[in-house]
């Protein structure tokens, strides 16, 4: 608690002396503080002995904080003196100092009174208070104690101190050069002497330029419609601001014509434009910034009305479907304003929205395809500017037959053959065969190389045979033994399970079973076991008849 206070006020500067008793340690402490704006261009020092030429040095017992605060771990009789705070302004190469105040202790010296560490209420603290990524930061820690305490810094999350950090000023200051996001978090300071310890934590929260998580994207809209642009920020804070530009010129709502001001609304990182006109076309940009840096995103807005157009190759001319499968065909076109396309059959009748054959918002869907479903389908798109249409021919094929064979049992090479029946073998689609080994796609095995062979022929020229060989390297054959399956895009599948290759037997013995009376014919039995790693140690026996010419 204070025993006396002297103060001096000038502009934003205020110097206070406070002398009080630490009741827990039953000793005296003195605290001199200076409240003033802290800047990187300011440095503090303390004058003493009522002289502007005598500068107080920091010791294990005396500490000057970066904000100008002067601390004593404990007070001695020799500390009773006149003190003044001195301020140096680097940018103007000038200096200032306050009035001298005399420190008087109301109790005898505490130099012989010992007590455990106690952190000052402001400790630990960080400089600068709002550090930015790339700054060099200082963490300070001070404790009142006698004997003078030892200081130890650590991270609360258990990680080691940053490699770019170093400790100075008798352990009271931890400096981290050019901090990055990985240096953020809580840091802990522990002050210890022979009578006890005191600990405190300080949070390092780093600031960085705003990050645009989701930027703007190009838009094409019809006239009289509404468009919204949003710059979604990942790390916006109270220091961040967002500005909007069109064709590199800033949006200033008050300077816009009244009719456009009614159509435009800006809500920080969101821009709304109503009843769009062709004159609203252009490049829109948002710039998010703070005192650390900025980021931006831009997009092209095109406001126009145009008749429907089917881009080249956007719609397939022919679609193949296997009997019994399900097929979906979207109607793809460009138009402004854009509406859903409508599907119709070869007779011009619009498809219903429900049923086995239906049109759902411009996508034709046919379930359990039948042969009679084959034919032409038409998609029509129209708006107030015009109309366009495209046609698609649906070709229905029988479900292909697939068979899988060994090519070479020793190397486990496989062959998959599919037979398609098409009206015109010259236009028969590729079956797109796929190999799977033990239910895993063959592409997961980079050393396995499928080879595709396409060929024609068959009954009346309507059947086309396609084959895919799968070569398994000899050195990998044993690793990929298992189930080989082949399937086609149009359905059908075939699989074969290869037999494991048995290892060479061990403990092979030959036993004679019997011998006929003539001695010309003898019977033997072979016995062997498989290696232990195959977990098959059963006795394998087989009888063998042998003819001997030995009398």
Which tens digit of pLDDT belongs to each residue from 177-194? 998 888 889 999 999 999
3-state secondary structure 400-432: CEEEEEEEECCCCEEEEEEEEECCCHHHCCCCC
**Tens digit of each residue's pLDDT (9 = 90 or more) over 103-132:** 877 655 555 788 999 998 889 999 988 888
Average pLDDT on 357-386 reads 90
Share of the chain above pLDDT 70, in %: 75
The pLDDT value given to residue 476 = 55
Q: Is the pLDDT reported for residue 467 higher than 60?
A: yes
Q: Is a pLDDT exceeding 90 seen at residue 376?
A: yes
Predicted local distance difference test score (pLDDT) of residue 409: 54
What pLDDT is recorded for position 532?
65
Of 11, 33, 38, 35, the residue nearest 101 (C-alpha): 33
Element (H, E) at 260: helix 258-263
Whether residue 41 has pLDDT greater than 80: no
Distance CA 53, CA 290 (A): 43
Integer distance in angstroms from the first to the last C-alpha of the chain?
125
Say yes or no to pLDDT of 321 above 60. yes
| 203 band by pLDDT with thresholds 50, 70 and 90 | very high
Beta bridge partners of 419: 401, 465
State yes or no: pLDDT of 426 exceeds 60: yes
Q: How many Å apart are CA 400 and CA 387, to the nearest integer? A: 40
Higher pLDDT, 439 or 389: 389
Q: Greater confidence, 97 or 323?
A: 323
Please give the residue that has the higher pLDDT: either 483 or 60: 60
- Phi, psi at 138, each rounded to 5°: -125, 130
Query: Which domains are present in the chain?
Result: 1-112 (2.60.40.10), 114-207 (2.60.40.10), 212-304 (2.60.40.10), 307-397 (2.60.40.10), 401-497 (2.60.40.10), 506-547 (no CATH)
Q: Backbone phi, then psi, for 371, in 5-degree steps?
A: -60, -35
Is residue 368 within 8 A of residue 326, CB to CB? The reply is yes
CB atoms within 10 A of CB 199: 16
Residue 386 has pLDDT above 50, yes or no: yes
Task: Quote the CA–CA distance of 341 and 362 in Å, as a whole number.
Answer: 5
What residues are paired with 283 via a beta bridge?
300
**Does position 18 have pLDDT exceeding 60, yes or no?**
no
Whole-number pLDDT of residue 358: 92
Q: Which of 23-37, 359-373, 392-406, 408-422 has the highest mean predicted lDDT (pLDDT)?
A: 359-373
pLDDT average, residue stretch 435-464: 68
Q: Is the distance from CB of 417 to CB of 466 less than 8 angstroms?
A: yes
| The pLDDT of residue 35 | 38
pLDDT exceeds cutoff 80 at 280: yes
Q: Answer with the residue of higher pLDDT: 135 or 431.
A: 135
Determine the pLDDT at residue 462.
Answer: 66
Highest mean pLDDT among 154-158, 293-297, 540-544: 154-158
- pLDDT at residue number 487: 84
pLDDT of residue 300: 94
Question: What six digits make up the tokens of 511?
Answer: 């036993």
What's the CA gap between 148 and 183, in Å, rounded? Answer: 30
Q: 485-528 pLDDT, tens per residue?
A: 888 887 777 877 665 555 667 777 877 666 666 656 667 777 77
């Amino acid at each position: 608690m204070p025993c006396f206070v002297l103060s001096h006020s000038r502009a934003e500067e205020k110097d206070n002396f406070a002398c009080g008793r630490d009741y827990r340690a039953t000793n005296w402490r003195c605290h001199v503080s200076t409240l003033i704006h802290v800047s990187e261009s300011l440095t503090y020092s303390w004058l003493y002995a009522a002289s502007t030429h005598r500068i107080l040095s920091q010791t294990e017992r005396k500490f000057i904080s970066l904000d100008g605060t002067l601390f004593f771990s404990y007070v001695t009789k020799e500390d009773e003196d006149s003190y003044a705070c001195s301020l140096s302004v680097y940018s103007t190469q000038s200096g200032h100092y306050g009035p001298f105040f005399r420190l008087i202790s109301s109790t005898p010296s505490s130099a012989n009174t010992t007590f455990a560490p106690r952190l000052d209420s402001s400790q630990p603290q960080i400089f600068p208070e709002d550090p930015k990524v790339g700054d060099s930061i200082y963490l300070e820690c001070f404790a009142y104690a006698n004997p003078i305490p030892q200081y130890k810094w650590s991270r609360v999350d258990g990680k080691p101190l940053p490699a770019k950090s170093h400790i100075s000023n008798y352990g009271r200051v931890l400096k981290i050069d050019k901090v990055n996001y990985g240096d953020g978090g809580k840091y802990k300071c522990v002050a210890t002497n022979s009578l006890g310890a005191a600990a405190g934590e300080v949070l390092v929260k780093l600031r960085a330029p705003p990050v645009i998580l989701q930027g703007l994207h190009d838009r094409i809209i019809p006239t009289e419609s509404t468009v919204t642009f949003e710059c979604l920020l990942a790390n916006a804070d109270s220091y961040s601001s967002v500005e909007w530009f069109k064709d590199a010129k800033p949006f200033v709502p008050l300077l816009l014509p009244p009719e456009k001001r009614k159509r435009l609304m800006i809500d920080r990182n969101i821009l709304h434009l109503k009843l769009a006109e062709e004159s609203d076309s252009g490049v829109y940009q948002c710039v998010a910034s703070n005192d650390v840096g900025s980021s931006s995103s831009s997009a092209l807005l095109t406001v126009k009305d145009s008749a429907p157009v089917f881009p080249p190759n956007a719609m397939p001319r022919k679609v193949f479907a296997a009997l019994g499968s399900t097929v979906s065909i979207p109607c793809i076109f460009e138009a402004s304003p854009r509406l859903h396309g409508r599907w119709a059959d070869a007779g011009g009748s619009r498809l219903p929205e429900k049923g086995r054959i239906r049109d759902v918002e411009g996508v034709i869907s046919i379930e359990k395809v039948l042969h009679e479903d084959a034919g032409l389908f038409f998609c029509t798109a129209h708006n107030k500017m015009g109309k366009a249409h495209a046609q698609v021919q649906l070709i229905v094929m029988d479900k292909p037959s697939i068979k899988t064979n060994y090519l070479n049992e020793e190397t486990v090479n496989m062959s998959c053959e599919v037979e398609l029946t098409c009206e015109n073998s010259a236009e028969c689609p590729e079956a797109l065969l796929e190999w799977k080994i033990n239910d895993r796609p063959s592409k997961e095995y980079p050393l396995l190389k499928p080879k595709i062979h396409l060929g024609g022929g068959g009954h009346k020229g309507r059947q086309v045979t396609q084959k895919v060989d799968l070569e398994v390297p000899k050195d990998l054959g044993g690793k990929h033994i298992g189930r080989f399956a082949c399937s086609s895009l149009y359905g059908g599948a075939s699989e074969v399970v290869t037999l494991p290759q048995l290892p060479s037997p061990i403990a092979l013995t030959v036993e004679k079973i019997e011998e006929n009376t003539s001695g010309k014919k003898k019977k033997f039995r072979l016995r062997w076991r498989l290696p232990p790693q195959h977990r098959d140690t059963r006795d394998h026996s087989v009888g063998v008849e042998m003819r001997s010419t030995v009398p």
